[in-house]
Structure 1
């Protein structure tokens, strides 16, 4: 796994914009990297596929454990949502996707799970579409990529279609969020290719008529994909209506994904599968045995309020508004480092199938919303 450089296409921005990618740059700093990339081997791709499959299986077992033992207190989940979570799990409410974030230790050739973006992962459009077009622009068709995201999304929607409620699957995100809207519209497009009738509605525009959720025309919403975090929804008046909905609308991702998107799942995984080669030691409070570790708020997003300790001394911290909900402690992982920065690997699972990877790179050892997306190819 190594960085390789290219002579950049002078028209790279317009090329990306022509396929609907409008947030390639953040305040004159590139978010999308067009002139260098990661080259990985097929053996490394196989290792990522295997690790993703293993960790996904362990995550499902961890959800079953939490629900069976009713450990919701560890997750800062309101009591009123417990029944909804259990019902969504027992009824096998459709789930589409998630992104595991792995650290890769190049010297030991080990992948370690950092966390699971199981509810509202973004960068799917970049992974499935943008880096595929990037590959085809710079390389011949014989060059491969760990990327079957697009095909797997359509196949997954086809599998789910018979189990959807109502005639329309709504797709939703907050207003004025270009990145979220781009990802939602990409997901909506793949659903339409699977033969599903869809409609876009912003979270802000969803109505409540005392008994059910409705769209702007007053029509009942019975199935909806939302790119909006469960942990935000359940603490809003809007979210509290979910348990009062007479239609029992299907929410995708389902509410049981709240358990996996919460960093409290990391100590649960370590408790259930101690010393698994793809896991890092993680604890709720008794972390005295850790000398080098990360302190994470269980609901932190985009690297906010992360504290890094080395020899039990604080060496780095990020700002933010999280922490009141509680913390977990996770052993400090070794990140892959190049001259361009520190990188983590996002490994996508769609349905039950690992199907694509994305690299996020940062100048600092904590990945934040300022991190860059680096494309990849497979070459032996």
Structure 2
């Protein structure tokens, strides 16, 4: 793994605007744009294979953890309101379909004289399983960058577009059992109360709507604020009064669980299918880290994690809120108990977990976190966010990647249509 300097494309902004990635200039560290192509990360194909294998392994162990929690009804540990316990259990037992998720991974290993790092250690930091973002940039945007910056023979670990279309098609035909042309609503939050469109969420849902269209759905993009409940029909409807039978929502289940209409979710289960499903409440929660360590102690891809700091009193550790996002309310604590860094935020009332601090490869004063995607049950690609600080927060920048050696035999062919259809 190596970080190399790159010359930015002169018209990269216009190119991204054309494919629906319009939030590339969101302010990042020091006011720099969120998207950064002044550098890129290169991986040997063997390292990509290791990341892919670790991702598949972690997903399988997460499924084991959900089964354990459901069978032992440990929902209270995840701060899930009691009225929704049966909904989560039923959602899991009836195998409600999932679309995607993103593991955040720490990579480490010995440094080489040329500045590269031999990746030997891959550790799970958390699983963004309910509302993962950085999808458009991981899929269409960095593929466009790869082709225009490194040529037609270049490669990267990026099968996101193809696998999203494939998974949508599976969900439509095999899971929902509906014909091509069936309606699918897709929703994101319009704003955080200030009236300003949350562009990142809007673009992400627009991209997912396009992949759903390719899979045979008739997508309708709406905002969460437009959802209503028709008391006479006992059904959720959109702003046009159309019944919402199938909906993808880029909106956290933990927020839905405490809102006024939460009591209607069990009642309307047969009338409205939600993607992601209710059982994802168990994966998008940092208590998952504790359960995974409990079930699989010493696992090479997991870090020790506990609800109490006592078992980690003699090592560097991280305190994370159960439901935190973008590094909010994360605190880094040294082995001697002093605080190295902490991030402000609005989380923590629901409780914290304590995770042993991971080792990270650092390059030019930057720390990369690898987002490793799963579509359905299949590892699908990676995206990288990096920061100069010790906590990866909402100001971290997205940096593209490439594979440094030729494509191994059997790796799928060029998915250029991902760029064209985004």
Residue 389 of structure 2: aligned partner: 364
- 2:19 match: 19
Take 2:362 and 2:269, find their aligned partners in 1: how far apart are those partners?
52
Q: What's the offset of the Cα at 1:165? A: 7.1
Unaligned runs of 5+ in 2: 111-118, 191-196, 406-422
Which residue, out of 108, 119, 131, partners 1:120? 131
Q: 1:306 aligns with which of 330, 342, 352?
A: 330
The residue that corresponds to 2:183 in the other structure is 168
Match of 2:310 in 1: 287
Q: Distance in 1 between matches of 2:77 and 2:341?
A: 26
How far does the alpha carbon of each residue in 1:18-57 deviate from its partner, in whole angstroms, 9 at most, with x for none? 2221111124521001221000000100000100000000
2:419 alignment counterpart: none
Alignment of 1:97 with 2:100, yes or no, is yes
Corresponding residue to 1:44 among 14, 25, 47: 47
Contact 2:20/2:207 (<8 A) preserved: no
Structure 1 residues 314 and 192 mapped into 2: Cα distance closer, same or farther (>3 Å)?
Answer: same
d(CA) in 2 for partners of 1:282, 1:273? 11
Q: Structure 1 CA distance, aligned partners of 2:240 and 2:63?
A: 38
Q: Is the 8 A contact 1:212 1:246 kept in 2?
A: no
Q: Distance in 2 between matches of 1:16 and 1:192?
A: 21
1:262-277 equivalences under 5 Å are 262-277=285-300
1:246 deviation in Å?
6.6
Distance 1:165 1:237, change over 3 A: farther
User: 1:338 pairs with 363, 369, 374, which one?
Assistant: 363
Counting matched residue pairs gives 380
The Cα of 1:289 is off from its aligned counterpart by: 3.6
C-alpha deviations, 1:278-313, integer Å up to 9, x for none? 000000115334421000110011100011011222
Looking at structure 1, the residues matched to 392 and 12 of structure 2 have their Cα atoms a distance apart, in angstroms, of 25
Structure 2 CA distance, aligned partners of 1:88 and 1:185?
A: 26
CA RMSD of aligned residues (A): 1.4
Residue 208 of structure 1 aligns with which residue?
A: 229
Q: What does 1:184-223 correspond to in 2, within 5 Å? A: 184-210=205-231, 211-223=234-246
Q: Which residue does 1:80 correspond to in 2?
A: 83
Kindly indicate whether residue 230 of structure 2 is the aligned counterpart of residue 230 of structure 1.
no
| 1:251 pairs with one of 274, 277, 288 | 274
More displaced stretch, 223-232 vs 282-291: 282-291
Deviation at 1:136, TM superposition (A): 0.4
Mapped contact 2:373–2:379 kept (Cα < 8 A): yes
Give the Cα separation in 2 of the matches to 1:165 and 1:220.
18
Cα deviation 1:73-95 (Å, max 9, x = unaligned): 11000011111111111111110
* 2:102 and 2:128 in contact (8 A); partners too: yes
Per-residue deviation at 1:220? 1.5
Gaps of 5+ in 1: none
Q: Which of 298, 321, 327 pairs up with 2:346?
A: 321
The C-alpha deviation readout for 1:134-168, integer Å capped at 9, x for no partner, is 00001121111000000000111111112227731
Shift of 1:363: 1.5
What residue number does 1:66 align with? 69
User: 1:56 maps to which residue?
Assistant: 59
Post-superposition Cα deviations, 1:160-215, rounded to whole Å, max 9, x if no partner, equal 11222773111000112110011111111001001112211210001101211011
Answer with 349-358 or 193-202: which moved more: 193-202
Distance 1:292 1:342 in 2: 17
CA distance in 2, matches of 1:246, 1:164: 13
Which among 297, 302, 306 is matched to residue 321 of structure 2? Answer: 297
Residue 35 (structure 1) aligned with residue 38 (structure 2): yes
